[in-house]
Structure 1
């Protein structure tokens, strides 16, 4: 798992400027902005929300603009620095945190929501249950998790594509992923298919 995390996040660090700029425009990701807005309204208002695997910070900044207190977390330090710089340019006040999805440095029941857009798909299937258990742990009662994944039934390394370098991808069956959320303790799990071909979002409550 350590090698997968280091190499995948190293790819994002190497391409931080390119990825940050390319991922900024919501028009490239049909339906995504509406999903972020819905999450902002669903998560209870009393506590901050966590953008888990924030990348360039696009969604974290949108959540902040909607009045949410946001923790933007990522494992890739250069990518996280890029996100921090862009937030400063836009005058957004965010908390930034380097984190590993398998051992979140966050207290139990301390966030109202966890938004994970295309980040947990870099977790191997053998560790997915552990990652979801961590998400469940940090959520306050009635807190909401919204996790976007790609449909499929395979996992492994992908070379190149939209970024130079090698990244790990885990593609999952939506119904099976819903079962993983339930096994981690989530209730009222719903699967919604995104406007982006091959993507879905799973929403569950603690």
Structure 2
């Protein structure tokens, strides 16, 4: 029991550190980009950030809904992505935590910050000072639209994740396999004993 608690605490601390670093990077990068583009492009960037959050939320849910059985035959035939799909499913709790809690939540925070920057850009174009009625109204409208798109997108993503979990995780497995083979970047933890059992 104590070892499980220690592993849980270690994982939680690791996730917290990763979240801090990624949130800082995403916020700095998005703010830097948005400061140099017109409001329309900024709005497109906000939608891209929201889409990333929706995509990773779908991946996280799919990992908990998918079964590893369909991938065993493919893994035995050395199909790229099959072993990675099994590893994702066997580590669904950590994978879902990273996708939903880290990337998903960061996307929500960053999209909110990016929306605020876009609002200020639009208000500045129309000569509205910060805190004016028009600026506040615009902020409420755009924030509500972004929130509606985020929630609606995640609702659709959840439906897809539950009903097409095998295809989604296989796609994720193939993507991870491609990155690891071509770029030599280790993404998934590969325990030798666990990997050898995947047939």
The verdict on a shared fold, with TM-score over 0.5 as the criterion, is no
Q: Which has the higher helix share?
A: 2
Q: Which has the larger radius of gyration?
A: 2
- Structure with more contact order per residue of length (Cα contacts < 8 Å, sep ≥ 6): 2
TM-score range, shorter chain: under 0.3
TM-score, length-scaled by structure 1? 0.27
